[in-house]
Amino acid sequence: MQETMRRGTLIQLPVLPLRGMMVFPHMVLHFDVGRPKSVAALEKAMIEDQRIFLVAQQEAEIDDPSMNDLCRVGTIAQIKQVLNLPGDSIRVLVEGVQRAVLSSISETEPCMIGVIRPVREEPVRDSAEMKALVRTAHEFFEEYCNASMRVPQETMRSVMEVDKPDQLADVIAANVLTKLEDRQAILEKLRARDRLEALCAILLRETELADVEKQVQARIKRQIEKNQKDYYLREQIKAIQTELGDKEATDVEELREKLAKTPVNDEAREKAEKELERLSRMAPGTPEIGISRTYIEWILDLPWGKMTDDNLDLKRARKVLEEDHYGLEKVKERIIEYLAVLRMKKDMKGPILCFAGPPGVGKTSIVRGIAKAVGREFVQMSLGGVRDEAEIRGHRRTYVGAIPGRIISGIKQAGTMNPVFLFDEIDKMTSDFRGDPASAMLEVLDAEQNFAFRDHYMELPFDLSHVMFITTANNIENIPPALLDRLEIIEVPSYTDEEKLKISRKHLLPKQIAAHGLKPRSVKVNDKVMRTIIEGYTREAGVRTLERTIARVVRKATVEMLDDKVETVTVNAEKLNSYLGAVRFTREELEKENRIGVVNGLAYTTVGGEMLQVECTIMQGSGVLQLTGKLGDVMQESAKAALSWVRAHCEPWGIPAEFFKQHDIHIHVPEGAVPKDGPSAGVTLITALVSALTSIPVKQSVAMTGEITLRGRVLPIGGLKEKLMAAYRAGVKLVLIPHENVKDLEDVDAAILERMEIKPVTDVTEVIRTALVCEPPMVSESQIETPLPIQPKSKANAYRGL
């Protein structure tokens, strides 16, 4: 406080904190008191000299303030009247006497007693500067009253009559200022000159704000008047057009009302309003009316702001996945992980899942299961054969018959902004002169871009960031690298025969019985007959053909039930043959005798694993290597690498160098009409060559797979699970695999590992030593890099631990 200000002596008075208000000296005010301590302070003041210290709270929300919650400067007031109101409230009338400073609090119960220092103001000198300050305050006050139009004329006149500097600032502040901070700032100015200067600054600021408010209010008023005028005119036009039977005008108004209720974004609303205005001015019968209305309806039919609540109960999700899908444990585990993270982080912008695997293994149904488990709508878009970018982004409206792309169409079909959206067969997209749809998919599947996806037809941003995009593919090698980089690949393996058997009994057979209107268990098929159906009438990685075959059996059984008037039919081997005819497929059978130049190889195809025999023969010729069996480029290169290794290591066999110039070598892989490719036949080709050149037979109970190098190293391969399954079906006793593939044995069924011996190898010399009936001269212990085959009691457990 100013040093020049004379202070009064310290006194003690009851303290009454005020919330959202304050009292100035010379001001008469009434207010209600309800807090217990405030009532107690009021009663104590009435008992004594009816004086009380009124001070504003810094925070109005505090019910029981302490000294730190109070302002330091307040007003000593004289209580004029006390009136008890219904309830516990009291209405009190007070008059401000003088400013005072709160020094401390001496008591807090039953009320606050403050140590108060009254402020005695110095006499105001009647100087020219003070007169000018009073006149300026009057002028600023008058300008504010004229600008704001909030101060009554009576108040204005009474204030203009006040000419005492020490009272003028308090009177104006009490009647004009609305902010508690401004009022308290004036109260804390202890000299009249300082109060007037601060008040003039505040009045100037408030006058400018009042002028801006008047401008804003005038603009809003004009807009409202325009809107009312437009509404009135539209209603008149609508009534006239209704009388004339003009249906187009009625449709425009309905679209306008629908737009007002739809929470579209600003750009969409602007485009829709512009198009509506254009539509309303078109003459009846104009061809563009239908185009314009269709565009507006597309905007309004999109699910702006509509979301379905996610059900992220992991137990329920596991139950749904288990009900609809057998096996696929790793796939289900990854889906549960995805949902768990989604539950923890609601706005997760995670990777786009891509289920990759052969046809018929349940990729699409898994995605349906995810949608069912989460409780979202499901949309499926097949990308097979899509070669036009407009299929993704839509056609521009300049074209006749333009429509939005299938992304926007799918969102409209779902009716929500967060469906599960499946891009099926994403590896089947192609490109031509009309564009590259795979490039258009980059924006759709990128979480950093798809929040403002623009369809060429709609020409406005639409948020796709809430959509759960999932894709499926048969061969990920056909997916462009930039698109593949946005996907998290989840391998969906082919089913084993055991898995197919369980799927048939648990899902397929009951499903077909119900689909044909039969009672449960009215068609009985035992495991032996079901295995015959699986192995003899289907050859696939999935179960689609198997389901169709079972459906055929059920249809035949239905006819028999109606003919013989029986309620159940048991399908045995004889009936199966009459239903389906002769067995279509026979599994590979091992040669009973060991043969020269014939080796059992293992291949991985789109329908699962297969066992292929590689045949090699030597004949007189000119050193030509003949390869037949429709071999691909990679497999032909593997054959050339195998021959190079054999020629480099054949000296101990007693074969002269001129031998390869005087003889032709013919390698053939049967089923010549079936294309074959890949590097995993390297060890098979070398073994066949060595057997043919040394005339040493190959053990027919052995099968092998592995890529080779010119140094004879055996490199890892893919599809080990399917290849071992093929060897298991054929009755192979020993399978040679690359040592680096031992880790993949964890995915192989324990039943397969228990019935076969698996031997990891790192060098072709070990392959030759194991596969041939007797070892050729070149093979010795010093050339073998790995230990002898492991002979565990339980092979499944042993190889799972490698």
Q: Write the DSSP symbol of residue 351.
A: P
**Residue 206: how many CB atoms within 10 A of its CB?**
20
Q: Answer yes or no: 723 catalytic.
A: yes
CA atoms within 13 A on the CB side of 665: 24
Number of H helices, E strands in the chain: 28, 25
Catalytic-role residue among 638, 680, 691, 721: 680
Q: Contacts from 177-181 at CB under 8 Å and sequence distance 24+? A: 177/202, 177/206, 180/20, 180/21, 180/22, 180/56
**Residue 390: how many CB atoms within 10 A of its CB?**
22
Dist CA 237 CA 589 (whole Å): 87
Q: Are 756 and 732 a contacting pair, CB within 8 Å?
A: yes
Dist CA 297 CA 20 (whole Å): 52
Q: Answer yes or no: 578 catalytic.
A: no
**Residue 160: how many CB atoms within 10 A of its CB?**
13
Catalytic-role residue among 556, 723, 759, 795: 723
Minimal CA–CA distance to 207: which of 149, 134, 130, 131?
149
β-pairing verdict for 113-120 and 352-356: unpaired
Q: Are 262 and 234 a contacting pair, CB within 8 Å?
A: no
Query: Taking each helix axis from N to C terminus, what angle separates 165-176 and 192-244, rounded to the nearest 10 degrees?
Result: 20
> Is the Cα dihedral 197, 198, 199, 205 positive or negative?
positive
Q: What angle do CA 377, 380, 382 make, to 5 degrees?
A: 175
Dist CA 550 CA 531 (whole Å): 12
Sequence letter at residue 94? V
Cis before 351 (ω within 30) = no
Distance of CA 359 to the CA centre of its chain: 26
Query: Taking each helix axis from N to C terminus, what angle separates 406-414 and 288-301, rounded to the nearest 10 degrees?
Result: 60
List, in sequence order, the alpha helices (H) in 401-478.
Answer: 406-414, 437-444
Phi, psi at 166, each rounded to 5°? -70, -20
Which are the contacts of 790, defined by CB distance < 8 A and separation ≥ 6? 759, 798
Q: Write the DSSP symbol of residue 426.
A: G
Dist CA 93 CA 29 (whole Å): 6
| Per-residue exposure over 477-508, b if at least 16 CB sit within 10 Å of its own CB, e if not | eebbeebbebbeebbbbbbbbbbbbbbbeebb
Query: Taking each helix axis from N to C terminus, what angle separates 247-261 and 288-301, rounded to the nearest 10 degrees?
Result: 20
> Is the Cα dihedral 496, 498, 499, 503 positive or negative?
positive
Q: Are 777 and 653 a contacting pair, CB within 8 Å?
A: yes
Sequence letter at residue 729? R
Dist CA 107 CA 104 (whole Å): 9
**Residue 92: how many CB atoms within 10 A of its CB?**
22
Dist CA 609 CA 518 (whole Å): 36
Q: Are 176 and 187 a contacting pair, CB within 8 Å?
A: no
- The per-residue DSSP string of 352-393 comes to EEEEE--TTSSHHHHHHHHHHHHT--EEEEE-TT---THHHH
Residues serving a catalytic function are: 680, 723
